[in-house]
Each structure stands twice: as structure tokens, then as C-alpha cells.
């Protein structure tokens, strides 16, 4: 897997994986990645059979903003400025109004620049994905 970061274009809102500063592939505005901190999220390989089919995608929300989907055994790195963040993951077949989980909250500070998160398990038919703190050793190499 290449060394990319998932980022949402400030002009057109397109979510894309970028390797560094450069133009947006859709609207060509220059993207400047924040250099304060990074949130790593790893979805463990946890196929759950629910409703006659396997769930393969999970929606990623950062401070209530939908970023993109995360597949089984996939990881993303999200560059962020210093601040307070709330991350939650949910299955796309469940509306946000019926979401029963709790997002994981943390601060990105000069002393805590990188936050590692992983999915632990999926709760039955509720559409809830459990997020846990992780260590750098639990993240795949880039």
C-alpha cells in the first residue's frame, strides 16, 4: 500500500487519497495538508454475516462529517490540525438517526500528534462498529 493520506478538498469536497501537497484531481485547487497531527484508523478483518449478506464497508465520520468508506482489513491516515476530534464508524445500511454507538473522542496536541484507532468487533444487527485505541505496532506498515 502506498504512503497516502485521506483528505477532503476544501473547495469541491471530494474525498481523495493524496501523497502530499498538490492539486485536487477534480477541481485542481492546490491542497495543502495540515502538518499538525494524523489520525490512523484500521478496520480489522471482521466479516459479519447480517441480513443475508456480508458487510464489507464501514462509513467513517470525523466530527460528524462523512469522509468515506473503509473496507475490511483496510486502514487510512487522516491529516488534521491540532484540536478536539470525535471519530465514529457505522455500517452504511443503518441511518445515522438509528446509530447506537458512541464516537471515540480525543485531542490532537503537540504532545499527542498521532492517534491510532482500530475496530474491535461489530455488534450484531445494530450497525455499530466498536472503536478502540491502538498502538503503532498494530498498524500495518506503509
pLDDT in tens, 45-63: 655 544 445 556 788 889 8
For the chain, the DSSP string reads ----EEEE-TTT--EEEESSSEE-TTT-PEE----SEEEEEEE----EEETTEEE-EEEEEETTEEEEEEETTEEEEEEE-SEEEEEEEE-TTS-GGG-----EEEEEBTTB-EEEEEEEEEEGGGTEEEEEE--GGGSPP-
What is the dotted CATH code of the domain comprising 37-72+81-135? Answer: 2.60.40
pTM of the model: 0.75
The full set of domain ranges for the chain reads 1-33, 37-72+81-135
Say yes or no to pLDDT of 93 above 80.
no
pLDDT band at 1 (very low <50, low <70, confident <90, very high): very low
Amino acid at each position: 500500500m502506498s504512503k497516502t493520506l485521506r483528505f477532503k478538498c476544501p473547495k469541491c469536497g471530494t474525498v481523495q487519497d493524496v501523497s502530499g501537497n498538490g492539486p485536487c484531481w477534480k477541481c485542481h485547487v492546490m491542497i495543502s495538508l495540515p502538518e499538525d497531527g494524523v489520525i490512523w484508523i484500521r478496520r480489522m478483518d471482521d466479516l459479519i454475516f447480517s441480513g443475508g449478506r456480508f458487510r464489507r464497508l464501514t462509513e467513517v465520520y470525523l466530527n460528524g462529517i462523512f469522509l468515506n468508506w473503509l473496507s475490511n482489513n483496510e486502514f487510512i491516515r487522516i491529516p488534521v490540525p491540532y484540536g478536539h476530534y470525535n471519530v465514529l464508524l457505522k455500517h452504511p445500511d443503518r441511518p445515522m438517526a438509528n446509530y447506537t454507538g458512541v464516537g471515540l473522542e480525543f485531542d490532537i496536541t503537540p504532545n499527542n500528534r498521532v492517534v491510532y484507532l482500530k475496530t474491535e468487533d461489530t455488534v450484531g444487527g445494530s450497525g455499530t462498529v466498536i472503536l478502540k485505541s491502538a498502538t503503532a505496532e498494530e498498524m500495518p506498515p506503509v
